[in-house]
Structure 1
């Protein structure tokens, strides 16, 4: 999304060339493939760990740090190595997003009209808010000191970074779509007309 915004704002005349259907397919395939490979490696590794502290988690899903707490062998070091690889991958994505937004904000601040700057910022800020929420709560979940860890806090934080951004993303991005807004207005008018009759 940040690359799409970067191209749309910083290189609008080249948008069709740089972000054609082939580029979109390649980016989606790369995201899905790395996510699938990362999940597959973690799943295979965590299921090979011997659990000696029971098998009940204080979460509503199997999160890796919670599973590692149940392990009693030294083989959890492999999982920590995989987590380092995942963190490096996530950090690379984070750097890419930050660099994209720095370029976007530099371009937006050079727009002479106030209306143009407002339109550009209103396009960027919902995505930036969702990325910030996801990254900050994810970092807090995985990097918080064990002294402040509690099952209820872990549950709240995991809900914040796993459920809120994916739930709000379609709503935020679809409400920027003119056709969807028009269809919603039409639906509301039809509903109001049916209620009045």
Structure 2
């Protein structure tokens, strides 16, 4: 099986036959988020605020967070910069969703390697996913009368695509750990 076929099979394991419907749902709702003039910072800060409130120990994964957990850190220019970077990365991942799944998965795996060096584990990806869904619901509105409603279908689509993104990143971290482990074994013989 070629790498491309393996990637298609991997993604189909998450989304089945409705991949393009999922991508459409995610892209359309993301376009609504992007209508806000400062969406990169606003969305990212809202997401990180939710995440840090739910899991205060996440601060230790950020050098400026080692100063201690308090409300001043939520107003930190460092948080704003990380928030913009996260939203930019999410923006790029959504833009990349399409027929070239090999490129998407390879980029996400590389990103997973860099995040593993920051100490992120699969549990952290779950926390980020929960914060992502809560932020999307907050920004797009989950109420029945809300004009920018974030429906159950949208949430399911986002959950599926986020599962693919996070699993690809976790796989990248695991593959790098495996590579480093095998290299260190060679060096000891």
- TM exceeds 0.5? no
TM-score by length of 1: 0.27
Higher normalized contact order (CA 8 Å, seq sep 6+, divided by chain length): 2
